Amino acid sequence: MSRRDRIREKIAARTVEVPGLLDTPCHVWTGPTSGETGRGSGYPRMSLDGGTVAVHITAWVNENGLVPPRKQIDHKCRNRLCVREDHLEMVTHKENQKRRDSSRAALICEYTSHEETRIAA
């Protein structure tokens, strides 16, 4: 088995399929994460070659090769724990930031309308 296949299998062994924002289900990581609070928390982690790596980035690199400098791997499905390669996309830091802001704004909108509904009712 190639190293690439071994990494694929290692990742697949610890994921479950869960419906998400996209048409295809997310492959949600059930192994360790980068912690539950703070910036950069909630990302999947695993050990590889004696060190700890981010699983979603490893999954992307395993299929597509090196992530160039100043580029990041973003979740199209907005689920940090998803490690499905085709739910991931390489973007610039700026694009990633912009998306994060707009999804946060969408969440605030949703929350606000719920509040208004409750007040009206």
Residues that bind Zn ion (CB under 5 A): 20, 26, 77, 79, 82, 84, 87
Tell me the β-bridge partners of 21. Answer: none
Question: Which is closer to Zn ion, CB of 10 or CB of 76?
Answer: 76
Q: Least distance (Å) from Zn ion to the CB of residue 87?
A: 3
Q: Is 74 exposed, middle or buried (0-12, 13-18, 19+ CB in 10 A)?
A: buried
Q: Least distance (Å) from Zn ion to the CB of residue 75?
A: 6
Q: Least distance (Å) from Zn ion to the CB of residue 86?
A: 9
For residue 14, the Cα-to-chain-centroid distance in whole angstroms is 15
Residue that is written with structure tokens 């606000």 in the block: 112
Question: Which is closer to Zn ion, CB of 61 or CB of 82?
Answer: 82
Question: Which is closer to Zn ion, CB of 20 or CB of 44?
Answer: 20
In three-state secondary structure terms, 68 is: coil
